[in-house]
Amino acid sequence: MSTWLKLLPLEIQSVDTLIEPTEEVKEGETVAGVVSDGLKKLWTLSSAGKKAAALLEVELRYTPSAGPEERGRMTEQASKANAMEMIFWIGAMDELQLWGHPEACALRVGWQVVEFKRPETNPFKFLGFGPQL
């Protein structure tokens, strides 16, 4: 098992300041519940990792001498942030018992998990045919 994965629980516990979601609950969304403190910390770590990866990406774009080591750090940050977000959603689905729900989920202000219907994705609907999704 990787060192990062072994140390992740300690990293989660060490989070002092949370990065709260900023998007408000929208019309048509149903609040399913609020996530636990541990998941709030995990979301914070994921958000911080995504920010760090994005900043590295901008830096690399404007640094012609950047090599594979710098690009590797950006890829590492982004990959770990994405993994933490996936773990967050697995935890949220477990906590709020949402596994059997066909709706999509999102995180909103106040750490609220919302459910909403996915928009129809039939690109041929205007023609009157195509898959009925």
Domain contains 117: yes
Strand blocks (E) in the chain: 30-34, 104-108, 112-116
Report the C-alpha gap between 7 and 59 in whole angstroms. 28
Domain contains 8: no
Q: What is the pTM (predicted TM-score) of this model?
A: 0.83
pLDDT of residue 86: 96
- Name the pLDDT band for 133 (thresholds 50, 70, 90): very low
The residue segments making up the domain with residue 47 are 20-125
Q: How many domains does the chain have?
A: 1
Domain contains 80: yes
